[in-house]
Amino acid sequence: MRILQRALLFAWLLVLAGCATLQTDFEKPTVSVTSFRALPSDGMVPRFEIGLHVINPNRTALDIEGMTYSVALEGRRLLNGVANDLPVVPAYGEADIRVLTTADLLSGFRLLADLMRTQRDTVSYELNARLDLGRFLPYVDIVESGEVSLTGGR
């Protein structure tokens, strides 16, 4: 019984020592949208490429295991996607990521009908993304929003 107690105490100390070595000064990376372009599509569903720029302010590289993302225009979620073939962002470094997404056709039709009913000079957008940095690091949630001009700068 005494050997079992000592073994459990030793195992508990190992777990505590392992937790103490985890990175506690982790800073959230900065992610910004750098490009957004339409791609040729085979069918009715439009495809897009979104360019993202990731800045890593941490002393260890970020091995991004996966990412989910969506883009909403005027509060309607239009674009959704996932990615898992992503580059490693070096410590104190930067990386560019390109992800592909497809449009939700019904939401697109509803947005188009709404835009035709009301005259607007701008359309609001919101990008939501979640980066999976691995087992021992937290998810990184990104929300970027703004407006896009419909008048071409007039």
Show the beta-strand stretches assigned E in 3-151: 30-39, 47-55, 62-63, 66-73, 76-83, 88-89, 94-103, 122-132, 140-149
Q: What pTM value is reported for the model?
A: 0.69
pLDDT for 66: 92
The domains of the chain, with CATH numbers, are: 25-149 (2.60.40.10)
pLDDT tens per residue across span 91-133: 999 999 999 888 887 887 787 787 778 877 888 888 898 989 8
